[in-house]
Amino acid sequence: MTEFNYDTIVPGFDRDAVVSNMKQQLSDFRYSHCLRVEKGARGLAAENNIDVERAGLAGLLHDYAKERPDDEFIGVIKEKNLNKDLLKYNNAIWHGIVGAEIIKDELHVYDEDVLNAIRRHTVGSIKMTGVDKCVFIADFIEPARDFPGIDEARKYAEQSLNSGVAFELKHSIAHLIDKNRQIYPATFESYNYWINKGEL
């Protein structure tokens, strides 16, 4: 049993049952990653006087749909009449934006603060809230992450949430360009906005 259960946000929400389900449907790495991001998002929220429960729940669920097949995401995009431009992208974008719809349907989470943090955790947004930022950053700097720039990312996250967001967007765009990958338009928009808010 955990000391937190999120039923004040989602009436009847049983974290232990959801976590057990996630353990069955996700790889060991992805499952453990979700728990680490939950803990990290809660910590960042507590340090910055942001809603700890919403940050924690969004952190826990941010990759809930990450390992679903492409056909499922495509079906949800069409069934829910989501932006057709999403069909030009892939799991890297879908698991947040489309994954939020799957979470609504399967877990009955309807809190928009939580759902938006899940939608935005890969692409960012010019409208990112404190909860969004906590999940966005916690996902990027969680303890198992090890890549060139991770120490700098953690330093900026400690400096301020805005700096952490700005650095992550800058780093992610540079990585995508280096790999010759498409960049989701909202990510460019987010970078242009937050690079002026963070002190890099």
- pLDDT tens-digit profile of 75-90? 999 999 999 999 999 9
58: which residues sit within 8 A by CB, 6+ positions away?
A: 41, 113, 114, 115, 117, 118, 121, 131, 135
Does 38 have pLDDT greater than 90? yes
- pLDDT tens-digit profile of 138-193? 999 999 999 999 999 999 999 999 999 999 999 999 999 999 999 999 999 999 99
Domain residue spans of the chain: 15-194
Average pLDDT over residues 10-35: 98
In the prediction, which pLDDT does 2 show?
61
pLDDT averaged over every residue in the chain? 97
- pLDDT tens-digit profile of 172-182? 999 999 999 99
In the prediction, which pLDDT does 17 show?
96
In the prediction, which pLDDT does 4 show?
81
- pLDDT tens-digit profile of 93-133? 999 999 999 999 999 999 999 999 999 999 999 999 999 99
Name which CATH class applies to 15-194: mainly alpha
In the prediction, which pLDDT does 198 show?
81
Average pLDDT over residues 30-42: 99
In the prediction, which pLDDT does 98 show?
99
Does 195 have pLDDT greater than 80? yes
Alpha helices in the chain (DSSP H): 15-25, 28-47, 52-61, 70-79, 91-97, 99-107, 112-120, 130-141, 150-159, 161-178, 185-194
Q: In angstroms, rounded to a whole number, what is the distance separating the alpha carbons of residues 43 and 47?
A: 6
